[in-house]
Amino acid sequence: MLVLLVEDDAALAAQLIDFLQHENIEVDYAASVSSAKEIAAQTIKYSRYDAAILDMDLPDGNGISLISEQILGQGVPVLFCTAATALEDKLAAFSAGALDYITKPFDLPELAVRLKLLAKKQGAHAENTFELDSLLIDFNTQIAKRGERILVLSPQQWLLLSLLTKHAPNPVSKEDILCKVWPDQDVNNNMYKSLLTRLRKNISRDSERELLHTIKGQGLVLRKHSE
Amino acid sequence: MLVLLVEDDAALAAQLIDFLQHENIEVDYAASVSSAKEIAAQTIKYSRYDAAILDMDLPDGNGISLISEQILGQGVPVLFCTAATALEDKLAAFSAGALDYITKPFDLPELAVRLKLLAKKQGAHAENTFELDSLLIDFNTQIAKRGERILVLSPQQWLLLSLLTKHAPNPVSKEDILCKVWPDQDVNNNMYKSLLTRLRKNISRDSERELLHTIKGQGLVLRKHSE
DNA sequence: AGGCATGGTAACCATAAGGTAACAGTGTAG
DNA sequence: CTACACTGTTACCTTATGGTTACCATGCCT
């Protein structure tokens, strides 16, 4: 079992790594948001994490951004482990997609148990695929197909598509999309429109049913029928 | 979404039930192990719980026994909510099969979030719909139907309709509507009238019953009969 | 009646919002 | 260096949203 640990307190991290290894859990370690991105980018090419342990307060940002920018890839369960005890911090983490939240100080065995629970559920439960009409997405292999045709998606398109699948069949607001696909960047509406056209072209070709519908003023949805 | 709550502190239980109901979660309540068994036995015949919230210390036993004796049936996710903070208690709960563990005192919203997470993973989803006569609104998917006809609503119309459903079957004053639909804008009565006509046209067509009634001098209501 | 306030409907149309295609700058692999 | 993929930019088209106006209905008061 392979886990990503992002934690700026080196002493705590060392302790954690040591403990987890005794539990037969391999750990990739990063001390900051930026290094986490690098490590994850390399690792994800070859395998995927079974879970991630994130800290909230990091020297160069907030752990939440690692989720919202989808650095970890689809379906990697996230456990926040942080000193922040405020309710709003917890809610922010959960709404970003965290699956558990534990506050410092904590007992190592509890963390390990919760971690295993997350990873187990992930492995047992989710084959980590999404299916709609003849569209099939496998998040493990990062392959998307429409029928037998394999879709070649750019990074942006992949990001948007996985964001939509996560919420389907519920819509995602344009604002959400903008700040997830282009985090801390200048965005304009044209960039959004371009991306959308490109993704549509890839997903539906010829007479294939359109699956990507915009609800005016509301957002984007992935579903069979426009409304 | 249906949840079983087993908790011997009546005041806390009442508070919990109240909060959860506002979150659209139905609650079956038991104050002891024995009554939990009875209630569960009855309920499970007809449906199954989407999750269970268990206390540890109960007058006639330990909540853990409800899991180990398989009272709840297979696959019902369990969240322990208890005053016991000791690591060994937590480990006991997790090893019995609990999926989450939260210690008192806690924040209600956090409990609700964790609960929904559990249930969601299990496959239930909190419904968020409104129904009146043949009008059906799903706020998750943002789809409104009148019978089988799907309503295509503009952003303004959505706003107004959801405002009305929130208060139904009570009226909403015109002033309220004006400042919710057109926040910090110049509004005039014509804009209001137009919006109203358009929404009416969408909701009721041909011989369908009118559901949107204005009460002179009071405001707007969503209900079957004008009075 | 007449005047007037409140509500309701229909039609008009400027404009925002959405959609597409084509081009250009950048980076990267070979 | 070349070729290509990716993405930001621009231009242009289409649609329907929503503000506006004009006109009608009803109820109420003097």
In chain B, which residues from 73 to 132 place their CB closer than 7 Å to nucleic acid strand C?
none
**What band does A174 get if pLDDT is binned at 50, 70 and 90?**
very high
> Is any Cβ of chain B less than 8 angstroms from the Cβ of A126?
no
- Residue A95 has what pLDDT? 87
Residue in the block written with tokens 């309709």: B161
pLDDT computed for residue A63 by the predictor: 86
Question: What's the DSSP call for residue A26?
Answer: E
Percent of chain B clearing pLDDT 70 (strictly above): 95
Helix A174-181 with A155-167: angle, nearest 10 deg: 140
Chain A residue with Cα closest to B101: A114
- What is the per-residue pLDDT for B68? 79
Most distant pair of Cα atoms in chain B: their distance: 67
Among the listed residues B216, B215, B185, the one whose alpha carbon sits nearest the alpha carbon of residue B226? B215
Express each pLDDT in B92-126 by its tens digit: 999 988 999 999 899 999 999 999 888 877 665 66
Residue type at B196?
L
Q: What CA–CA distance (Å, rounded) separates B55 from A181? A: 42
Using a 7 Å cut-off to protein CB atoms, list the covered nucleotides of chain D: 5-11, 16-22
Identify the band that residue A11 occupies on the pLDDT scale cut at 50, 70 and 90: very high
Query: Which residues in chain A have their CB less than 8 angstroms from residue B87's CB?
Result: 107, 109-110
Q: Convert the pLDDT of each residue in B113-165 to its tens digit.
A: 999 888 877 665 666 788 888 888 988 888 899 888 889 899 999 999 999 98
Q: If you average pLDDT over residues A150-168, what whole number do you get?
A: 89
Residue A221: other Cβ atoms inside 10 A? 23
Q: For residues A88 and A170, give the distance between their C-alpha atoms in angstroms, rounded to a whole number.
A: 24
Q: What is the mean pLDDT of chain A?
A: 86
The CA distance from B86 to the nearest CA of chain A, in Å, is 10
pLDDT of residue A36: 82
Question: Within window 186-215 on B, which residues have Cβ closer than 7 Å to strand D?
Answer: 188, 190-191, 193-195, 198
In this predicted structure, the answer to whether residue A86 has a pLDDT above a threshold of 90 is yes
The model carries a pTM of 0.73
Query: CB A110 to CB B87 under 8 A?
Result: yes
Nucleotide nearest to B217 (CA to C1'): C6
Q: What is the pLDDT of residues A18-72, one digit of tens each?
A: 999 998 888 889 888 888 877 777 766 556 788 899 999 888 888 888 887 767 7
B141 to A94: CB separation less than 8 angstroms, yes or no = no
What is the second-level CATH architecture of the domain A2-125? 3-Layer(aba) Sandwich (3.40)
What's the gap between Cα B185 and its chain centre? 33
Does any strand C atom come closer than 7 Å to the Cβ of A200?
yes
Which residues on B lie below 8 Å from A107 (Cβ)?
A: 87, 90
Phi, psi for B51 (deg, rounded to 5): -170, 170
Question: Quick one: pLDDT at residue B47?
Answer: 65
Look up residue A181 and give its amino acid: V
* Cα-to-chain-centroid distance, residue B16: 13
Please tell me if residue A75 touches chain B, with a CB cutoff of 8 Å: no
Q: Do B87 and A99 touch (CB under 8 A)?
A: no
Residues of chain A positioned with their CB less than 8 A from the CB of B141: 169-171, 221, 223
> By mean pLDDT, which of A120-124, B18-22, B195-199 is the weakest?
A120-124
Whether residue B85 has pLDDT greater than 50: yes
Task: List the single best residue of A117, A215, A220, A221 to mutate versus B (max B Cβ within 10 A).
Answer: A215
- A99 interface with B at CB cutoff 8 Å: yes
Q: What percent of chain B has pLDDT over 90?
A: 31
Q: Tell whether A93 is within 8 A of chain B (Cβ).
A: no
> What residues in B contact A91, CB-CB < 8 Å?
109-110, 113
pLDDT value at residue B183: 86
B127 touches chain A (CB under 8 A): no
Whether pLDDT at A133 is above 80: yes
A174 contact to strand C (CB, 7 A limit): yes
Evaluate if residue A125 carries a pLDDT over 50.
no
CB contact under 8 A, B94 and A113: yes
pLDDT of residue A80: 94
Q: Which nucleotide is nearest to A155 (CA to C1')?
A: D6
- The secondary element (H helix, E strand) that includes residue A53 is strand A51-54
CATH ID of A129-222, from 3.90.1150.10, 3.30.70.580, 1.10.10.10, 1.10.260.40: 1.10.10.10
pLDDT digits (tens, 9 = 90+) for B33-46: 888 888 887 776 66
pLDDT of residue B180 exceeding 70, the answer is: yes
* Contact between chains at B113 and A99 (C-beta distance less than 8 A): no
- B82 has a pLDDT exceeding 80: yes
- Give domain limits for chain A: 2-125, 129-222
Superfamily for B2-122? Response regulator (3.40.50.2300)
**Could you report the per-residue pLDDT of A214-225, keeping only the tens digit for each?**
998 889 999 987
